[in-house]
Amino acid sequence: MRLENKVALISGGARGMGAVEAKLFAKEGAKVIIGDMLEDEGRKVEAEINEAGGECAFVVLDVSDEDAWRKAVDEAVSRYGKLDILVNNAGIYRAHNVEETTADEWDQVMDINAKGVFLGTKHAIPAMRDAGGGSIVNISSVAGLTGSKVTSAYNASKGAVRLLTKSTAIQYAADGIRANSVHPGTIETPMTEGFLADDAARQDRMDRTPIGRLGRPEDVAYGALYLASDEASFVTGSELVIDGGRTAE
């Protein structure tokens, strides 16, 4: 198993990509802590993994709350003895251009998508250092690579994640802590189901995806698995683009 004896903390693990990552990582031998605001959904994923013979615990986690991050990392260490992997997966999407974006919306998107990654990283690092190293996987987006007609705060937040990842990689390489970003294209998840419900929007995304289909949470989860595992032990500060060819054009 590719994550045997690893302990992984996944933010936003109650549904969507995070839940699929949690199940895949557990199948590959990891002990998984899922942190999320959505307690009912989170408890369900927790139960599902435990019933299938895995080890999983749910913790309540608002990624913009520093204290909640401290508790989530403590839970991983007290329950499973250490922390090896952090997947900063939680995020929100807002489809507004610059003028439509209120200052409040800007703050909300940046707090969750960018500051949330910073806080998770900050509190995971000491535990990873104690564990002799670790792997941080930050879910950015193709919106962290190229501009967008329909988003601005989201774009900015994912660009922030892209470069924070590289600083983390440089700053903590000596501690054996790796940090990489994943850049999904359009993935069918609860986060995107709102705008994908619009046929024109869906067709637009399809037209811009050369491979001829939208992404599935599994596509991202397998990339995260690669980066989380020791198979990627020489990979740090890298960007893994999982977008069906969208940004290659």
Partner 1 sequence: MRLENKVVLISGGAKGMGAVEARLFAKEGAKIVIGDLLEAEGKQVEAEINEIGGECLFVPLNVTDEEQWKQAVAAAVARFGKLDVLVNNAGIFRSHGIEDTTTDEWDQVMDINAKGVFLGAKAAIPAMREAGGGSIINLSSVAGLVGAAYSSAYTASKGAVRLFTKSTAIQYAADGIRSNSIHPGVIQTDMTADAIADSKFKAQRVDPTPLARLGQPEDVAYGALYLASDESSFVTGAELVIDGGWTAQ
Residues 230-249 that bind partner 1 (CB under 8 A): 231-245, 247-249
216 binds partner 1 (CB under 8 A): yes
d(CA 216, CA 222): 11
196 binds partner 1 (CB under 8 A): no
50 binds partner 1 (CB under 8 A): no
- Pairing outcome for strands 7-11 and 55-60: unpaired
Provide the token pair at 96.
């507004």
Piece of the chain touching partner 1 by CB under 8 A; list 32-40, 48-56, 92-100, 227-235: 227-235
| CA nearest neighbour of 108 among 100, 98, 116 | 116
21 binds partner 1 (CB under 8 A): no
In sign, the C-alpha dihedral spanning 82, 219, 46, 138 is positive
In whole angstroms, how far apart are CA 11 and each of 165, 195, 197, 205? Answer: 16, 23, 25, 26
Q: How far is the CB of 204 from partner 1 (least distance, A)?
A: 17
Q: Identify the active-site residue in 80, 154, 172, 226.
A: 154
In sign, the C-alpha dihedral spanning 238, 161, 72, 47 is negative
Report yes or no: 242 and 223 within 8 Å, Cβ to Cβ: yes
- Taking each helix axis from N to C end, the angle separating 153-172 and 116-130, rounded to the nearest 10 degrees, works out to 20
10 binds partner 1 (CB under 8 A): no
144 binds partner 1 (CB under 8 A): no
211 binds partner 1 (CB under 8 A): yes
132 binds partner 1 (CB under 8 A): no
d(CA 94, CA 97): 9
One-letter amino acid for residue 216 of the chain: R
CA 54 to chain centre: 21
Piece of the chain touching partner 1 by CB under 8 A; list 15-23, 78-86, 103-111, 172-180: 172-180
139 binds partner 1 (CB under 8 A): no
Q: How far is the CB of 35 from partner 1 (least distance, A)?
A: 25
Q: Between 75 and 243, whose beta carbon lies closer to partner 1?
A: 243
d(CA 88, CA 109): 15
225 binds partner 1 (CB under 8 A): yes
d(CA 153, CA 88): 18
113 binds partner 1 (CB under 8 A): no
Residue 80 catalytic? no
Among 15, 31, 158, 178, binds partner 1 (CB under 8 A): 178
Active site members: 154
Residues that bind partner 1 (CB under 8 A): 166, 169-170, 173-174, 178, 185, 210-213, 215-216, 219, 222-223, 225-226, 231-245, 247-249
